Chains A and B, each alone.
Chain A
Amino acid sequence: MSKVQSKQRIRIQVNGEWRSTEVEGDETLLDLLRNKLNLKGPKEGCGTGDCGACTIILDGKIVPSCLVYAATTDGSRITTIEGIGSAEKLHPLQQAFIQAGAVQCGFCIPGIIIAAKNLLDSNPSPTRTEVREALVGNICRCTGYVRIIEAVMMAAETMRSGRSGA
């Protein structure tokens, strides 16, 4: 029988790498990622699932990591912004966000890129409306979303044409 414990050990795959880590009781996935696994990309903007800054991909779906208990993620696959692209080879979304002027303060960006990537993974030709709907859970207070939607559309086109983005 699974134990009720203050501490539990879980195994999770984070950005492609399996890791074993201890979690405490009601520790959220966000706190686990930031504080124990040192992944600072997902942010705490509200802690109540209202802002989207903590959005990550859990077993193929975007979730607010501040509302997921880490203890429930044993065996799961997680992707954070750190698992998307690199300075040497940016993901087309990252390239598009830079070029389209979609980045201002940057605090919402990890969550938004995650949500956008998740959209494009299942819907490579979204309409503008579909992009808006996909990003409804990600608040941006700086940009007004216009350039962000533009960037996602640009990235979708780049990905469809097979270019990796310069």
Chain B
Amino acid sequence: MIPLRHEIFVPRTEIELFNFLDSHGADSKLVSGATDLIPRIRRRQEEAITLVDISRLDSLRYVKREQGVIRVGALTTLADLIGSKTLGIEYEAIKKLELSFGSPPIRNIATVGGNLAASSSSEDLIPIFLTLDARVSLKSARSERVIPLGEFTRGKRETSRASNEILAEVSFSELKPDSWCTFEKTGRRERVIISLVSLACTLTLDRRSGRVDDVKIALNRVRGKIPERALETEKALLGSDLNESKLKEACEILESELSLTSDFRASAKYRTEVAKNLLRESLTHCKHCIEEA
């Protein structure tokens, strides 16, 4: 039975939160930046009786570098993440979110954790963090476990989080030298768009040979309904010098890897065409930025 009104619990400390989740986690819903939730509630699609709004837990709001690992607290807002001085210019994908993710008021309340936990193809952070080989930390009252992001997002709106856990942090190893991480997103207008195609690309070049040392590519949709890595395309690009024929080949492999669907927003054909163009553009751009740096 979908309740008419929902009750709300606003924990002030992590201990309060975990105690609550231990007993009530199963019928409650975690909220941090209700940008997705409130529209669902208005459409009467939310079954949880109690909302647990954790947006006041300042302990989970940080972006820091520790021993070669970047750690981002789950309650870091998009605005904080984009503006963080801890991330250098090579994390261009994150910086570009200022142009592609929502609007200023939305970026002030949407959180990193909220974005990842929503687990859908409209969440921009997922493809970006997939290419950074990110891991998420799931915390409960008594334990903490770290799993790869790709294992956390299982399906549309489905994650590996147990009902007494929260997504506390996302972390990834710092980009190696001669690396660049970029992001392209396209929709029907320039700003505040639901993505038709979005593509994240993290590239590392070998300094001496100029060839691809490592490349990770993720799109908002590859085969299913959530963001995934384009593994075949990555494999084909490893060790290459990103010349024109290699780029062409990569686009063809991407096309064969993609199994997209059509909807009223766009056809599969268009999405595939654009994905290829964005792949080419992002690889060329990353290479150029690495060489310039």
Contacts and interface: CB of A to CB of B under 8 A. Distances in A.
Interface stretch (A48-56, A100-108, A146-154): A48-56
B156 interface: no
A26 B7 contact: yes
Contacts of B19: 1
Contacts of A52: 103, 105
Interface residues of B, number: 37
A137 B10 contact: no
Contacts, number: 99
Contacts of B192: 50, 136-137
B7 A63 contact: no
Contacts of A82: none
Interface string B1-30: 000011111111000100110001000000
Nearest to B32: A72
A63 B79 CA distance: 11
Contacts of B60: none
A62 B56 CA distance: 16
A1 B13 CA distance: 10
Given A1-B19, A62-B108, A137 B102 contact: yes
Interface string A20-61: 000011101000000000000000000111101001000001
B6 A63 contact: no
A69 B34 contact: yes
A67 interface: yes
Contact of A72 (B39, B53, B98): B53
A4 interface: yes
Contacts of A86: none
Contact of B106 (A2, A3, A137): A137
B235 interface: no
B188 interface: no
Contacts of B105: 49, 52, 55, 62-64, 115, 137
B35 A24 contact: no
A161 interface: no
Given A67-B38, A72-B56, A4 B50 contact: yes
Interface of B: 5-12, 16, 19-20, 24, 31, 33-35, 38-39, 41-42, 50-51, 53, 55-56, 79, 98-99, 102-106, 108-109, 191-192
14 contacts: A2-B10, A3-B9, A4-B50, A26-B8, A47-B42, A48-B42, A49-B38, A52-B105, A61-B79, A72-B10, A72-B53, A72-B55, A115-B104, A137-B106
